[in-house]
Structure 1
């Protein structure tokens, strides 16, 4: 039998585990999340304009959300933009841009912290970190990385293999359709021939029975010659 202290210890252990589960679940749901999109990179031509995407979401809302963009210059993080969003649906304040050819194009109403880089150069290529800190979460930091590749010209994708695969698949499907049509046509012709053969057999059987005078058939009696 369990003693009273043992039961108390098990009860406290269960309560502690339950509270930990609730804390981890709630923190996972309420935490601020930063995102640079489903495809967090882009390949841009030298001299073009590039939108560097970043959005955020928080189920508990924000208050004095601090955000910034940083560029990883060979291991040294250089600040590109920073600012503060007082609360939900309020435009950022105290936004500062630290690099040329860069504009902040985000809107708090759409939880957008994106920036535009005009006339990109090869020096602009690299990793950009979108950072956010929501005081409601007691100082937790969140970030997401966007990678920019700068090239002389966009690569031409060789679709030869794709065309070959599509052609093979299309040809196989066409052959399969032709085979099914021929199969159905053959079965139709055979069914018609079988039906015709049955009709011929029935007709032949009726003629033979009539000629042989079998029971069930009618014959015309010959007339009796008259005596002179």
Structure 2
């Protein structure tokens, strides 16, 4: 009887228990930066629900060549908490916007020792089930030659394709215009020739002279 009443109340009042759904977290795949520069590490998420007031973001860091993972940042209850004892003390700043599902952080004055993997985790209650996303940071003294060559090659190929498309476009326009002009001249010449032939075929009637009375 109690079960029947509970089901009836759900149907009548529209009381449906909230169910947790999966949350998808996004970060970059790999970031490059120069020594002494600043870098923004982006983190966002997708959830079917509205952004909760209890949304949380957490960042962890694992240096290259190490198995230890350090907690470097946590956002909860509308307040950001930065680790003040780790390698990023006084160099990490929260630059995200939780209301827009943005949990990005800014790391300042990069050094070679900052190379490693940064992992972001987000929760949007009741959606709390999701796989954290990781981004690897590589700090260089100068821009890697390989990356510059690849970027230059991509830009060159794109520009080359654009130039080729423009050349083909104008070439086709020229050929079409030339063809139209040739047809027009040929048609005009044919009409002129036919008119001349018709004038040659027509001969006036002979004149007949009659004596005067």
Q: TM-score, normalised by structure 1?
A: 0.63
Partner Cα distance (2:165, 2:123) in 1? 57
Q: Which residue of 2 aligns with 1:84?
A: 76
Distance 1:168 1:35 in 2: 32
User: Deviation digits for residues 31-53 of structure 1, max 9, x if unmatched?
Assistant: 333322xx343211011111122
RMSD over aligned Cα, in angstroms? 3.3
**Residue number in structure 1 paired with 2:14:** none
What number of residue pairs does the alignment pair up?
Answer: 184
Question: Could you tell me whether the CA contact under 8 Å between 1:129 and 1:144 is conserved in 2?
Answer: yes
Unaligned runs of 5+ in 1: 1-25, 86-90, 212-218
Give the corresponding residue for 1:108. Answer: 98
1:209 maps to what in 2?
202
Structure 2 CA distance for partners of 1:202 and 1:146, relative to 1, 3 Å: same
Q: Which has the higher contact order (CA 8 A, sep 6+)?
A: 2
Unmatched tracts of structure 2, length 5 or more: 1-18
Instruction: Show the counterpart of 1:199.
Output: 192
Q: Which has the larger radius of gyration?
A: 1
Change (3 A) 1:77 1:192: same
Counterpart contact for 1:68–1:131, Cα < 8 Å: yes
Corresponding position of 2:23: 32
Partner SS for 1:76? coil
Which has the higher mean CA deviation after the structures are superposed, 125-134 or 44-53? 125-134
Which position in structure 2 is the counterpart of 1:51? 40
Distance 1:121 1:180, change over 3 A: same
Structure 2 residue 139 is matched with structure 1 residue 150: yes
TM-score (norm 2): 0.67
Query: What is the SS of the residue equivalent to 2:156?
Result: helix
Q: Deviations over 1:81-120 (max 9, x none)?
A: 22423xxxxx226x24142222233343333322221101
Q: Contact (CA 8 Å) 1:106, 1:114: kept in 2 or not?
A: yes
Output the CA distance in 1 between the equivalents of 2:100 and 2:82.
20
Residues 193 and 44 of structure 1, relative CA distance in 2, 3 Å threshold: same
Corresponding position of 1:119: 109
